[in-house]
Chains A and B, each alone.
Chain A
């Protein structure tokens, strides 16, 4: 028998990048919140400058619950899904924001209206075949105040490229207008990243230092970045990376309105005959608890959001919670680009010293992002942001591609890596990716977790639009590397992502309840007191990292809940 707890106003499932932000406006408004998180607090002293610990064995990114619930993947609806290693779906207070790269982008205005803008510019047939792309129910202008809010609450460093319409080439000239400058200046460049910037300018492009949720000076009492080179897949030892574990969550705890239940694994969201959710069941220390709540906010990772809804069946929702229109798990997609196999690797004839730094430290070119250039005749819509960055560890450096210049082992290999391990770099490409009819999440019919629940099954597939788009960007990237002096450039064929840390959809946001799970505010079309936060609500990816958009949407959903408390909780 489950132990029933004292009711709360709001139960938030998952205190990661999304839920960890949503709790703050709720707590400030005086709502009583239960934050239910499968992981625990991570101690900053355990974040080590150790490639084996962080990157090889994944001891920061991958914790036991995550390893037991890794989704299965297949590349078409007719093939068998398989487990493919681990996935850094994080369980911890702060979630993936503890170990992410902290690149904190706003989407472009175009990303919100892609369908209508593409049809207007390139004709009705420009939408990729089989795509379920819709315009968002929210515009960039509507989300701008929330981007601004989160940039200041969490702390984002960067340089504005469009300040209320005034263009500044020191920032990204292609960004949408912002009401004010970033709260901190951007991360510093290095001799190499500045060389890349110079080469881009020589090509007539517009390079800039990109935004990051990383302090570049003391902010909210925490120090600026130490550039030590163990940021990706590791936590920050001095608290300069603005994960929700050091920003919004502690601020919410301070109000005394947020009670955190850690190491608590949510197994079901419970709903009544009237279709409203009544609370959350979870396991902690082998016991089952029921946390009654007037409102539930679901904020786990994209794969888990769909899975938990599909597992949470009831009389009102026989096919899974808020799934009476069959939309849970649909409109799934994940970023093509480097994460989808489309690597571009360059070798220089001199040391570039990218060992230290961090993945957010670098030079970005957005001239080929989104719809920033004319796509007429190219055969695809969307674009790619191209980023060249620092942070290269020793094992990774030595495991380099030999560009056909040396064998893979022996004395000649040794001489090659001795000369070249300090002379190569890999670009980071992120390509606009769209939802398709045949790309979705559901429950795996075979693979189960130790509790006996099916894991999430991911169905992906080859995408002609995205493949062309990545290949176009790879050619531009090669041009850029060569202009900076590269003597070899290797381009890997893009295959598309399997499991991804940039996974979107499954609970898409839209006005049409026949094709979307949540409304324009992030609340279920079917269960009125269920809100959903995370990239699972996003209908397009843009050509850049999702987290800031996820956080701006989470803040907006939470603020809407506060403003509409009576109608939503009644």
Chain B
């Protein structure tokens, strides 16, 4: 490593250590207001039951619900993803309607096995009552991943459980050569880029 290189790296590393928040608070005034959710209680329950089957809690650790994935989706549909809220809510209603049609029971009250059977029908495009069952399933799955593995600022990845699950070592502003080793990965950094004051809904 060049001497100058080392110096530059240390400057930026000091900057990281000195700041509890990686993103300046001034950049956040618009986003710092109390978070709004978008789903009704029953829609939220259907969504939670859905994502709980996508990534269940088990001996390997928390699942999607415990990670706050449904919370992430609920917040995003009120904000950045507001344009797709209508389609999304229709999809949730179709999940419940399809469960009632198959088993005469609301989706949330089905056994795990029956929930999985319903979700498989949706995933594979056989379920009725959807504008596009496969697309809706893929969208819920994608948003569940976003909720589990994004910066907790957005309301998911609670307690950094998502990042810990896949050994993602956290967002840093500077990374040393030893942090890029294969055999000895860095110690996980449990810190939001936005500091602790902006964890939506936790």
CA distance A375 to B174 in the complex (A): 44
The answer on a CB contact under 8 Å between A395 and B145 is yes
Give residues of chain B (58-77) contacting chain A, Cβ–Cβ below 8 Å: 58, 60-61, 63
Nearest-CB distance from A318 to chain B (Å)?
41
Asked, given contacts A48-B193, A188-B1, A238-B12, whether A226 binds B148 with beta carbons under 8 Å apart, the answer is no
Asked, given contacts A191-B182, A224-B8, A394-B168, whether A409 binds B53 with beta carbons under 8 Å apart, the answer is yes
Interface code A388-420, partner B: CB below 8 Å = 1, 0 otherwise? Answer: 001000110111000000001111011101100
Give residues of chain A (197-256) contacting chain B, Cβ–Cβ below 8 Å: 215-218, 223-224, 226-230, 237-238, 240
CA distance A215 to B162 in the complex (A): 33
The answer on a CB contact under 8 Å between B180 and A228 is no
CA distance A195 to B183 in the complex (A): 12
The answer on a CB contact under 8 Å between A218 and B151 is no
Tell me which of A50, A355, A409 contacts B153 (CB under 8 A).
Answer: A50
Asked, given contacts A50-B23, A414-B55, whether A226 binds B149 with beta carbons under 8 Å apart, the answer is no
Interface code B7-19, partner A: CB below 8 Å = 1, 0 otherwise? Answer: 1110111000000
Tell me which of A217, A350, A410 contacts B5 (CB under 8 A).
Answer: A217
Give residues of chain B (1-34) contacting chain A, Cβ–Cβ below 8 Å: 1-2, 4-5, 7-9, 11-13, 22-24, 26-27
The answer on a CB contact under 8 Å between B7 and A218 is yes
> Residue A380 at the B interface, CB < 8 A?
no
Tell me which of B123, B149, B167, B172 contacts A408 (CB under 8 A).
Answer: B123
Contacts of A27 in B (CB 8 A): none
Contacts of A438 in B (CB 8 A): none
> Residue B131 at the A interface, CB < 8 A?
no
Interface code A179-203, partner B: CB below 8 Å = 1, 0 otherwise? Answer: 0000001001011100100000000
CA distance A57 to B22 in the complex (A): 19
Interface code B142-164, partner A: CB below 8 Å = 1, 0 otherwise? Answer: 10011011110110000000110
Closest A residue by C-beta to B169: A355
The answer on a CB contact under 8 Å between A390 and B180 is yes
Closest A residue by C-beta to B168: A394
CA distance A506 to B40 in the complex (A): 52
Asked, given contacts A49-B171, A398-B145, A409-B55, whether A356 binds B180 with beta carbons under 8 Å apart, the answer is yes
Closest B residue by C-beta to A47: B23
The answer on a CB contact under 8 Å between A414 and B123 is no
Contacts of A240 in B (CB 8 A): 8
Contacts of B5 in A (CB 8 A): 216-218, 224
CA distance A410 to B112 in the complex (A): 11
The answer on a CB contact under 8 Å between B181 and A190 is yes
Asked, given contacts A49-B22, A50-B153, A409-B141, whether A351 binds B175 with beta carbons under 8 Å apart, the answer is no
Tell me which of A50, A215, A224 contacts B171 (CB under 8 A).
Answer: A50
Contacts of A228 in B (CB 8 A): 171-175
> Residue B97 at the A interface, CB < 8 A?
no
CA distance A469 to B133 in the complex (A): 37
Asked, given contacts A355-B168, A356-B179, whether A48 binds B11 with beta carbons under 8 Å apart, the answer is no
Contacts of B53 in A (CB 8 A): 409-410
Contacts of A357 in B (CB 8 A): 175, 180
List 6 A-B pairs, minimum CB-CB distance, nearest first.
Answer: A223-B8, A421-B166, A226-B174, A49-B171, A394-B149, A190-B180
Other CB < 8 Å A-B pairs besides A51-B150, A353-B181, 7 of them? A45-B26, A52-B150, A52-B154, A56-B150, A226-B174, A418-B60, A422-B167
